[in-house]
Structure 1
């Protein structure tokens, strides 16, 4: 972690603790865990709340092309920093709830979404809007990867059920401050019932 990144993150947290959700950027270990199922063949990737860009760097190191990255960042200082660090990426300075009004590509083609948003501090209504926007842009079979500073999934099970989503824990790391757990959020496959009338 770069010292200037840690300071920038601390200042952003002090200004908006309920929006930032942590006092430090994510560690290299957490970044590796968040991106372990993503690679060069994933295609375009969406990142929510990239902050200073630790997950963004990890994605590029995993082989995702910088120009295949779309970053959604609400903090103006972070957005400006990301623009300088990742000039080939598409960067939108906006609230992630606005995704429901956007078609990022011509159809749902995103291969993955990586989220640094503090859903445990976000209302159920806003969480639903964000998830609807994300999954409207993800291609079939693609997933959202979300971490939480704890053990339980930060998205309420009732909301997951309403949206036909499921959360699968894929790892935990103590080498982050605070320790973090990563979940894969994916659509529940629709199973067609067999009509015995035509058997």
Structure 2
């Protein structure tokens, strides 16, 4: 976090928070799931364990060290790992021979990004989701709405927010449905 301003937290997301967010995902069918900012893989591990054998998981990690850790840690044919930035999600889906995603799980710290980049990531995320697809974002709970929620409200049909206090720091969870 001290060397890379795009790292959101000193601590990984808690198991409780991961389960709370992932309850919104239907794991009983083939999914294309994109994960923005997987870090060291705590969400990735959960997503792989619960996804069907024909599901696809696309990881987009901006931090080179974390991308390398992910490549060393996970050897799963359902997994695509990119050292990239989230605004390029559409091109990365096409690279994986997928047109659209069912879910996007995002832990990237939107408050650290300039406004035009926040808008671009949300807009591109909306465009690449299937009808009824979900953007599931989580941020530290003290972040104000202008960093993410306001952008989601501009593009998505339905946006709900909830707080998860069983995490350090507590999280604000966003569920945006296309």
TM-score band, normalised by the shorter chain? 0.7 to 0.9
The answer for unaligned runs of 5 or more in structure 2 is: none
SS at match of 2:2: helix
Q: TM-score, normalised by structure 1?
A: 0.76
The answer for unaligned runs of 5 or more in structure 1 is: 1-12, 188-199
Query: CA offsets per residue over residues 45-99 of structure 1, 9 Å max, x none?
Result: 1000000111111112323448611000011111111112222210110111222
CA change 1:98–1:32 in 2 (3 A) is same
Residue 73 of structure 1 corresponds to: 61
Residue 84 of structure 2 corresponds to: 94
Residue 24 of structure 2 corresponds to: 37
What CA RMSD, in Å, does the superposition of the two structures yield over aligned residues? 2.1
Contact 1:60 1:66 in 2 (8 A): no
Match 1:155 to one of 148, 155, 171: 148
Distance (Å, rounded) in 2 between the aligned partners of 1:128 and 1:65? 34
More relative contact order, 1 or 2 (CA 8 Å, 6+ apart): 2
CA change 1:148–1:184 in 2 (3 A) is same
SS at match of 1:72: strand
SS at match of 2:87: helix
Higher alpha-carbon deviation: 148-157 or 178-187: 148-157
Distance (Å, rounded) in 2 between the aligned partners of 1:106 and 1:58? 22
Residue 185 of structure 1 corresponds to: 176
Shift of 1:172: 2.6
